[in-house]
Amino acid sequence: MTTSTIMEVVDLSVDYVLPDRTIKAVSHVSLDVNKGEVIGIVGESGSGKSTLAMTFLKLLEYPGKIKGGKVVYYGSEGKSDVLKMKPSALRKYRWKEVSMIFQSAMNSLNPVMRIEDQMGDVMVEHGYKEDEVDERIDYMLQLAGLTKNVRKSFPHELSGGMKQRVNIALALSCDPKILIADEATTALDVVVQRQILTRLLKLKDDLSISLIFITHDISLVANIADKVNVMYAGKIAESGPSNEIFDSPQHPYTKALLASIPSLEQEKSVKGIRGTPPDLSEEIKGCPFKDRCDSVFDRCKNEVPELKMVSQGHYAACHLYGR
């Protein structure tokens, strides 16, 4: 961590404990979020991205169980251990310190409430006075790129892109320091996706917040993230500065993800990743990527690769690197 670290995730592991099996959704994940930074979390479906993000807000529900590790938040009132927060502390932390646009948020707006009432409720609940709320709703909608008249609308009257902008306005309504966006653009067409992404980045700069951007689409984080964490089977396979991850990826999984991006500029063949991720409810022997990896060798079959530094700030969990 550095002096500008605002959140520190240390060796976090999460299981879903079902009657007949236990799914190791997140295993020993560590990462730092610095002030004003964009952190990309990338990985295929089921790699544990949402589970990880939920623990940042202590929102994990049954049958989810924290198996170990911690989430430390460095706020204006000092350092706090998020996973040990009491309900009263959590109420102040969520929305006001760290806020999240949930995966499938577009369908989670209350269909029978006007946008202004949904936004107003959140603000009042978090201590804003009734008389400032009204002005604040307009301000937040404008920040998200919407006009004031949207406030009188019901969700069904808005397009997908507009609903997602409302979610951005909602998530920012209590001035959080960190915004987590979980697949915030996935359900949108590419043009609207780009607009939402551009808006998120502008807001990040204007409001000096940190953004944790979660996606299965590695091409989306290429131009926006300062640092990227590539997740595979609940673990970080590779992490580092964005330019390094894209210009000199080390882990075969990251290379495969990058090779699967279609490109307009150059004629390259797009290569999907063969096979499927491992079943997280079964014990994984050796490297979790071994069955899909073109560079697999004996050691990968028996020994779990640890994250090792490949260059300053750049780590990969692969036996090709380090001894």
Ligand X SMILES: Nc1ncnc2c1ncn2[C@@H]1O[C@H](COP(=O)(O)OP(=O)(O)OP(=O)(O)O)[C@@H](O)[C@H]1O
Contacting positions for Mg ion (CB under 5 A): 49-50, 103
Nearest-approach distance from CB 128 to ligand X, in angstroms? 32
Q: What are phi and psi of 199, to 5 degrees?
A: -65, -45
| Pick 16 or 74: Cβ nearer ligand X | 16
**What SS3 state is found at 1?**
coil
From the list 156, 60, 161, the residue with the least C-alpha distance to 109 is 156
Please report where in the chains the tokens 């917040």 appear, as a residue.
Answer: 209
| Pick 15 or 116: Cβ nearer ligand X | 15
List the x/- string, 103-142, binding to ligand X by CB under 6 A: x---------------------------------------
Q: Which one of ligand X, Mg ion, none is in contact with 13 (Cβ closer than 5 to 8 A by kind)?
A: none
Tokens of 301: 């079959």
Pairing of strands 227-232, 98-101: unpaired
List the x/- string, 136-175, binding to ligand X by CB under 6 A: ----------------------------------------
From the list 17, 74, 13, 24, the residue with the least C-alpha distance to 278 is 24
List the x/- string, 37-76, binding to ligand X by CB under 6 A: ------x-xxxxxxx-----------x-------------
Decide if 210 contacts 179 (C-beta within 8 A): yes
Distance of CA 217 to the CA centre of its chain: 12
Nearest-approach distance from CB 230 to ligand X, in angstroms? 12
Nearest-approach distance from CB 280 to ligand X, in angstroms? 5
Nearest-approach distance from CB 321 to Mg ion, in angstroms? 28
Nearest-approach distance from CB 36 to ligand X, in angstroms? 25
Nearest-approach distance from CB 49 to Mg ion, in angstroms? 5
**Terminal-residue alpha carbon distance, the chain:** 25
Nearest-approach distance from CB 209 to ligand X, in angstroms? 22
- From CA 323, how far away is CA 319, in angstroms rounded? 7
- From CA 314, how far away is CA 159, in angstroms rounded? 40
Site residues (CB under 6 A) for ligand X, limited to 243-302: 280
According to DSSP, residue 229 is labeled: E
Run of H or E residues at 242: helix 242-247
Q: Is 180 in the site for ligand X (CB under 6 A)?
A: no
45 burial class (0-12, 13-18, 19+ CB within 10 angstroms)? exposed
Q: Which of 25, 115, 119, 122 binds ligand X (CB under 6 A)?
A: 25
Q: Which one of Mg ion, ligand X, none is in contact with 280 (Cβ closer than 5 to 8 A by kind)?
A: ligand X
Site residues for ligand X per CB under 6 A = 16, 23, 25, 43, 45-51, 63, 103, 216, 280
